[in-house]
Amino acid sequence: MNRETIINLLIALGLIAVPLWAIWADEPFIITLATKVAILALAGVGLNIALGLGGLVSFGHAAFFGIGGYAMGILASHAQNYTPMMEWPLLIEGTKSMPVIWLVAVLASALAALLIGVLSLRTSGVYFIMITLAFGQMLYYFAISWPAYGGEDGLSIYVRNGFPGLNTLDPAQFLALCYAVLFVVLFLSSRLAKSAFGLALSGARQNEDRLRTVGIEPFRLRLVAFVISGAVTGLAGALYADLNRFVSPTMFSWHMSGEIMVFVILGGVARLFGPVAGAALFIVMEHLLGGISEYWQVFLGLTLLGVVLFARGGLIGTLAGRKVTHD
């Protein structure tokens, strides 16, 4: 076992130990925080597929996060108000069932990622960063000024959606559900990285021309990676909306894109558990610093700066050492 695997195991153990302790010590808010970590980590895992594996620096992943959130909000609000979403040509009703909502969130954000990806992947480098940012902002302003689903006020869902066999209103059960989703996606993502597709994608990041000479078109690879990445982040958005029982356009804001990116970089780009470590560190800092000073964001900024300047490769990179790259 190499060092990174050990660190990953420790993080996974910590993720499970902290909420167990919280249940024992009757600290329900710690469970909520742990849930938030798991969901935001999931969003980061999504971004990491594009960013770490594909080298696609997307500054607009809030678009997919928000679409996932609104998939939940729109479906659940129709179910809550007993109004069908569409009556003609076929009747579509809202739903309060998580699996259905997840499916819709994943499909909707994958579709959006396909459209955005087809257009954005024609560019590269800084242009790619900026055009993804532009698409995110476009959706942000659309969500604010679109009156049907609350506009800037957003949508409140009074009761958390249901999952067969679970009581999702119980914080511990909802946490367990989010963990399960996170670990399944982490497992799939590690398989993806080792698959032929993942290796080719990695190759496209490192040397595009070499890939072309063996007859693989990098554009298609990247597009598929971008779609998968968007879909995972969209799923995280649906869960985040369920955690808060609320969606609003701030899920689309460029700050959200920035934060998801921060989770990935803070933990370590292209590291399997990078987003998990990053999200956990960020949430813990936000929680602890927020209690210290009104100007806590100064200290948050200083910490982030320290990590970039002096802890290259993020948390996991620093602890596990340089990744051995096989060329």
Partner 1 sequence: MSALLLIEQILNGLQSGVMLFLMAAGLTLVFGVMGLINLAHGSLYMVGAFAAAGAAAATGSFVVALVAALAAAAAAGALIEMLVIRRLYERDHLDQVLATFALILILSEGTRWLFGSFPLYLDVPDWLSGSVTLPGGIQYPLYRLAIIVVGLAVAAGLFGLISRTRLGIRIRAGEADREMIAALGVDISKLYTMVFALGAALAGLAGALVGAIQSVQVGMGEPVLILAFVVIVIGGIGSIKGAFIGALLVGLTETLGGVLLPQLFGLFMDPSAATTVGASLASMAIYILMAVVLIWRPSGLFGVRA
Partner 2 sequence: MKMTKLAALAAATMLAGMPAAWAEGVKVGMITTLSGGGAGLGIDARDGFMLAVKLAGRDDLDVVIEDDQRKPEIAVQLADKMIQSEKVDVLTGIIWSNLAMAVVPAAVAQGKFYLSVNAAPSALAGKGCNPNYFSVSYQNDNLHEAAGAYLAKAGFKKPFILAPNYPAGKDSLTGMKRFYTGELAGEVYTKLGQTDYAAEIAQIRASGADSVFFFLPGGMGISFMKQYADSGVNLPVVGPAFSFDQGILGAVGQAALGVKNTSQWSKDIDNAANKAFVDGFQAEYGRLPSLYAAQGFDTANLLISAMNKADVKDADAFRAALKEADFPSVRGKFSFASNNHPIQDIYVREVVMEGDVITNKIVDTAMTDHANAYVDACKM
How far out from the chain centre does Cα 198 lie?
19
CB of 148 to partner 2, least distance (A): 11
- Both tokens of 2, joined, read 């190499």
Rg from Cα positions in the chain: 20
Token pair 């990116």 in the structure block, residue: 261
The only residue of 251, 269, 279, 280 in contact with partner 1, by rule CB under 8 A: 269
Residues in contact with partner 1, shown as a per-residue x/- string from 73 to 112 under the rule CB under 8 A: ----------------------------------------
Four-residue CA torsion sign, 283, 287, 288, 290? positive
* β-sheet bridge partners, residue 246: 156
Is residue 71 involved in binding partner 1 (CB under 8 A)?
no
Is residue 161 involved in binding partner 1 (CB under 8 A)?
no
From residue 74, how far is each of 79, 183, 262, 310 by CA, in Å? 9, 27, 29, 44
Q: Which helix (H) or strand (E) holds 247?
A: strand 246-247
Is residue 87 involved in binding partner 2 (CB under 8 A)?
no
Residues in contact with partner 2, shown as a per-residue x/- string from 261 to 300 under the rule CB under 8 A: -----------------------------x---xxxx---
Q: Which stretch binds partner 1 (CB under 8 A): 6-14, 67-75, 195-203, 260-268?
A: 260-268
User: Distance between CA atoms of 123 and 68, rounded to whole angstroms?
Assistant: 25
The only residue of 15, 133, 241, 256 in contact with partner 1, by rule CB under 8 A: 133
Give whichever of 34 and 40 is closer to partner 1, judged by the CB atom. Answer: 40
- Residues in region 227-266 near partner 2 by CB under 8 A: 240, 244-246, 248, 250-251
Is residue 129 involved in binding partner 1 (CB under 8 A)?
yes
- Both tokens of 255, joined, read 């700050």
